[in-house]
Structure 1
Amino acid sequence: MPSLRPGILAPLPCFFNADETINYDQFAKHTLRLAAAGIMPVVSGSMGEAIHLEREERIQLIKTARIALDQAGFASMPIMAGAGALSTRQAVQYAKDAASAGADSVLVIPPGYYGLGEANLEAYYTSIAKQSPIPVLIYNFPAVAGGIDMSSDLILRIAGKAPNVAGCKLTCASVAKLARVAQSPLSPRTTGIPFFALCGFIDFLLPGIIVGAQGAITGVPNFAPKTCQELWELCQKQMTPENLTQANKLHLLVSNADAAASSAGIPGMKALLHYLEGCEPYVRSPLLPASAIAAEKLISDPAIFSILEHEKQLSSRR
């Protein structure tokens, strides 16, 4: 089974009960709902409130996803797991835990507390990659990493030194950086694994694909999985004028929904899934659940309404 494959991945929310314990049954059902549309899971990422989870909870979430996928006939679907931490030692432990629990790769965000420089980051990733039993992806997300914005030169330098660094997720949303990384020959690498450059938002998937992106990790499939998969499949076609027009139209629909959902954050996503699927809307403190007014604003947002209508149309065709 490939540890990585091109396509759309979704960072799965972590569903809680009213007492902030994890609702693993709900998590498994949501994982399968997305898998049925072809969406691959990212467990314990930013959307999954990873920073609020205990080590054993992270392990159990991965096990839950793996068992659910295997039992439902999705044994070939890879799982990516978040493994970033503030210390190298802890990140290595998370990577080893993820591998033992059934993950196929790990996504590692820079430790942003001290505002580390390039030498620190290079040592951080190469050390994790050396000790991780599964491939490591760099997660460049300045907004939640103390403003650290890794350059393409740094990413490629790390990849050259650490063959087990198999790709990156660019939530900095830089198409130019993505192009530089995706199109680099990475000549120092000794592994046959292709370097996966992934869009961190789906709102630059179409231009990202043109410059070499292997896919996107995005929260939108949590509520519109069939639409996101449709966009991915359309992006794989030869870009005739007709296909490009169609792709641009669908890309705008998804991009507008991405902007609306991103502004509502994790509480908003939980409220939207509660409305759509009956999933519990609870978050873990210090986050607060979306207010009734905020939830209604998101649900009635024209961008959300439009993509949900398109999702219904796709569901009725299949």
Structure 2
Amino acid sequence: MSNDQRTTPRALRPGIYAPIPSFFLEQTEDLDLQALEKHVVMTARAGAGLVLAGSMGEAIHLARTERIALIKAARRALDAAGFTDRPIIAGIGAGSTRETIELAHDAAEAGADYGIAIISGYFAGAIAGNKQALKAYWKEVSEKSAIPVLVYNYPGASGGINLDSDIIAELAKECPNLAGVKLTCGDVGKLTRIATVVSDPSFTSLYPRKHANAPFLIFGGYTDFILPTAMVNGHGAITGLANVAPNAVVKLFELCEELRTNPSLLPEAQRLQGIIARADATIAKASIAGTKALLEKLYGYGGKPRRPLPPIETFTAQALWDHPHTQDLVRLEQELREM
């Protein structure tokens, strides 16, 4: 069922969301939807949400029809596994505002509940310092999108464009169809400032959302500050490490949530945060190819990125697997799976 046929999107809740890789067949580089469906169900069973066609999903390498195919396959797999209420967030960022809006409509028709939009960095020199142009992009996209939209702030993938907390807070107030932000800038101070605005008790009444079950949530883009995020009223993370060790990352988030009423859990939360933060920093250096190599090692699928993104060298992949930070994470994940 497409979201044009649904009265409201599936609820967007605080938590951990995995930006799902796009898997490709070895010889043809065609989409490997079978691997995608396995991975979607695996992460869902661990308690993680999912994002399709984002940076980890190599959105820049996908045709419009492939984005649609990913969403339909993921929705089919989730529903078949009993996760009918689990929302799908789909990457809709494109070179122009016009195409971003078109991708948002495609995503809604294919079964996505939310879009996440990054601004193109191709003309960053003309846009980065233009507050009006930056705000206009997410304003127009959210106003014309059939589904709620999240802001994706990732300077590394947008030519260095880095939204400040004032712009994001203003967008949250002015755009009722915006449902949150992902901060892959890694700026905990920025996250804190935005959280101060949207967690204020008056925010919901003064700036109501278009959909009551699509609140404005603030997600980090890495796992190395999930604990600090919780302490300033943030809402979790959209993080590539949740592909490799979803149970471990979800457990950390759950501990952080319980800390609000049970401070005695702080030492255990700090322990898990340390293991996960070290692994995140180590694995992130190997980028998409490294994550896929670890998935291949752990779960039997992963493959290579789509060219021109190079695969990881065999020696480097083995070194990544053998690294003590990776092995600490793998042990933690296995322990939690067996509980």
Q: TM-score range by the shorter chain?
A: over 0.9
Which of 209, 220, 235 in structure 1 is aligned with 2:241? 220
Task: Tell me which residue corresponds to 1:15.
Answer: 23
State whether structure 2 residue 10 is matched by structure 1 residue 2: yes
Structure 1 CA distance for aligned equivalents of residues 208 and 264 of structure 2 = 41
Task: Tell me which residue corresponds to 2:207.
Answer: 189
Give the stretch that moved more between structures: 53-62 or 211-220.
211-220
Q: Which runs of 5+ in 2 are unaligned?
A: 1-8
Task: Tell me which residue corresponds to 1:291.
Answer: 313
Which of 84, 87, 91 in structure 2 is aligned with 1:82? 91
Structure 1 CA distance for aligned equivalents of residues 249 and 236 of structure 2 = 11
Structure 1 CA distance for aligned equivalents of residues 94 and 243 of structure 2 = 25
How do 1:141-290 residues align onto structure 2 when only pairs under 5 Å count?
Answer: 141-184=154-197, 185=200, 186=203, 189-191=207-209, 192=212, 193-238=214-259, 240-290=262-312
Which of 56, 79, 83 in structure 1 is aligned with 2:65? 56
State whether structure 2 residue 143 is matched by structure 1 residue 135: no
Structure 1 CA distance for aligned equivalents of residues 302 and 281 of structure 2 = 23
Secondary structure of 1:266's aligned partner = helix
Structure 2 CA distance for aligned equivalents of residues 223 and 30 of structure 1 = 10
Q: CA deviation at 1:2?
A: 3.3
Which of 96, 100, 108 in structure 1 is aligned with 2:109? 100
Q: CA deviation at 1:134?
A: 0.9
The code of the aligned residue for 1:110 comes to I
State whether structure 2 residue 59 is matched by structure 1 residue 38: no
Give the stretch that moved more between structures: 248-257 or 190-199.
190-199
Structure 1 CA distance for aligned equivalents of residues 137 and 155 of structure 2 = 17
Structure 1 CA distance for aligned equivalents of residues 184 and 52 of structure 2 = 17
Deviations 1:247-306 (A, max 9, x none): 001001111111111100011111111111111422111111111011101111111101
Given that 1:182 and 1:195 are in contact with CA atoms closer than 8 Å, whether structure 2 keeps it comes out as no
Secondary structure of 2:301's aligned partner = coil
CA root-mean-square deviation: 1.3
Structure 2 CA distance for aligned equivalents of residues 10 and 215 of structure 1 = 11
Moved over 6 A (4+): none
Structure 1 CA distance for aligned equivalents of residues 232 and 263 of structure 2 = 18
Given that 1:161 and 1:188 are in contact with CA atoms closer than 8 Å, whether structure 2 keeps it comes out as no
Task: Tell me which residue corresponds to 1:126.
Answer: 139
Structure 1 CA distance for aligned equivalents of residues 270 and 226 of structure 2 = 10
Deviations 1:82-137 (A, max 9, x none): 11111001100111111111111111112211111221111111110011111111
Task: Tell me which residue corresponds to 1:71.
Answer: 80
Q: Which runs of 5+ in 1 are unaligned?
A: none
Structure 2 CA distance for aligned equivalents of residues 133 and 287 of structure 1 = 32
Structure 2 CA distance for aligned equivalents of residues 312 and 157 of structure 1 = 43
Q: CA deviation at 1:188?
A: 5.3
Secondary structure of 2:278's aligned partner = helix
Which of 15, 27, 35 in structure 2 is aligned with 1:26? 35
Task: Tell me which residue corresponds to 1:316.
Answer: 338
Given that 1:10 and 1:222 are in contact with CA atoms closer than 8 Å, whether structure 2 keeps it comes out as yes
Q: Provide the TM-score with structure 2 as the length reference.
A: 0.91
Q: CA deviation at 1:220?
A: 1.0
Task: Tell me which residue corresponds to 1:305.
Answer: 327
Q: Provide the TM-score with structure 1 as the length reference.
A: 0.96
The percent of aligned pairs where both chains have the same amino acid is 44
The code of the aligned residue for 1:253 comes to I
Q: CA deviation at 1:241?
A: 4.9
Deviations 1:158-206 (A, max 9, x none): 2222110111011111112112212214475232442101111111110
